[in-house]
Amino acid sequence: MSDGQDNNIIVCENLVKIYKTKETEVVALQGLDLTIERGELMAIIGNSGSGKSTLLNMLGGLDRPSAGKLTVDNKDLLKFTDRQLMKYRRETVGFVWQSNARNLIPYLTARENVELPLILNGKRRRASKALELLDMVGLSHRKNSKLRQLSGGEQQRVAIAIGLANNPKILLADEPTGAVDTKTADQILDVFRKMNQTLGVTVIIVTHDRNIASKVDRVVAIRDGRTSSEFIRRKTYAEELEEMENGGIFNGQGGTHVELAVLDRAGRLQIPDEYVEALGLKGKNKIKVMLDDGKILLVPPDKDEDEKAVG
């Protein structure tokens, strides 16, 4: 196996997920391709119904694809038995959910909540490990506080400590900043970055919030069950912070990232909605494609061509 393959902790190829009921079929993933490197701090964004939560469940071993290929840490998840999937969830991935009711048990203290997964996995030095994790997320002083005594941001930081309790290779976060204000959201994202840098854990944040791009190195946008575009950071986050300290200006997503359309294995790409609107192509299914001096141009069809296409 090549170094490039070894460096990829997650590889999704042509992933398909179909949910069936007696009356209908819902296609949640329609041939999704995605590669994530070890140690990445990245986000997956998309509107409701785009398929991002379905993908999170696949990566977490909570659901199985209907077709395609999904390898995590060089293991084929489609070949896993139920027992192997349970072991995978306990040893390879950690979870941070949007709902704190899903993350924390209200009648336990912060320390006891972090200790619980350690107890279930039979780990030794549970108390010291729990305190070490709470210290890493900046909450050692709140170790004896229960859920009602913690703010929303503090609860999410405890949830991050819980997600890291089993020393996972991958930390999956589902809308972790969805229920807090902007300042608190920034603090939570800073904790994710610190854990990523300190522990080397691969962090994948699933969200509908595009502003999260300013705190991660790569953002993958999903639309209609496929990856549609990626936002790649021009400079490292550390370089940007240094520039700000030296009097530079932090411009957010537009100034820090470049957007790339994703070309799938069949040569298809999704054009961003704002471009479709600007070209007056909403509701149309034809577009003229031309090659001009090494560039691919996408332009609306001429009026007569458009009428022929409709006719």
- Compute the half-sphere exposure of residue 119: CA atoms within 13 Å on the CB side of its CA: 7
Count up the domains in the chain and report the number.
3
Q: Quick one: pLDDT at residue 2?
A: 41
191 φ, ψ (degrees, to nearest 5):
-65, -45
With cut-offs at 50, 70 and 90, classify the pLDDT of residue 308: low
Positive/negative CA dihedral, 52, 202, 114, 116: positive
Residues 19 and 135 in one domain: no
Mark whether 193 and 67 lie in a shared domain: yes
First CA to last CA distance, the chain: 53
pLDDT at site 243: 63
pTM: 0.82
Residue 97 lies inside a defined structural domain of this protein = no
Is 174 in the same domain as 56? yes
Is 100 domain-assigned?
no
pLDDT of residue 288: 77
Domain that holds residue 298: 271-311
Q: Is the dihedral of CA 151, 42, 45, 92 positive or negative?
A: negative
Give yes or no: residues 32 and 64 share one domain: yes
Task: Please provide the average confidence, as pLDDT, over all residues in the chain.
Answer: 83
How do strand 67-72 and strand 288-292 relate by DSSP bridges? Answer: unpaired
**Same-domain check for residues 127 and 67:** no
Q: Distance (Å, rounded) from C-alpha 202 to C-alpha 9? A: 8
Residue 239's pLDDT is what?
62
Specify the CATH number for the domain of residue 66.
Answer: 3.40.50.300
Exposure of 209 in the CB half-sphere (CA atoms within 13 A): 22
Angstrom distances, CA of residue 222 to CA of 27, 29, 45, 99: 14, 10, 6, 22
- Is residue 99 situated within a structural domain? no
What average pLDDT does the segment 256-266 reach? 70
pLDDT in tens, 85-121: 999 998 999 999 888 777 889 999 999 999 998 887 7
Q: Within this chain, do residues 262 and 174 fall inside the same structural domain, yes or no? A: yes
Residues 78 and 172 occupy one common structural domain: yes
User: Going by DSSP bridges, is the β-strand pair 67-72/75-76 parallel, antiparallel, or unpaired?
Assistant: antiparallel
| 87 and 227 belong to one structural domain | yes
pLDDT classification of 131: cutoffs 50, 70, 90: very high
Residue 277 lies in a domain: yes
pLDDT, tens digit (0-9, with 9 covering 90-100), for 164-197: 999 999 999 999 988 788 888 889 999 999 999 9
- What are 26's two structure tokens? 């819902």
Q: What is the CATH number of the domain that holds 299?
A: 2.10.260
Residues 157 and 22 in one domain: no
Answer whether residue 184 is part of any domain.
yes
pLDDT tens-digit profile of 211-227?
A: 787 788 899 989 888 88
Q: Are residues 163 and 174 in the same domain?
A: no
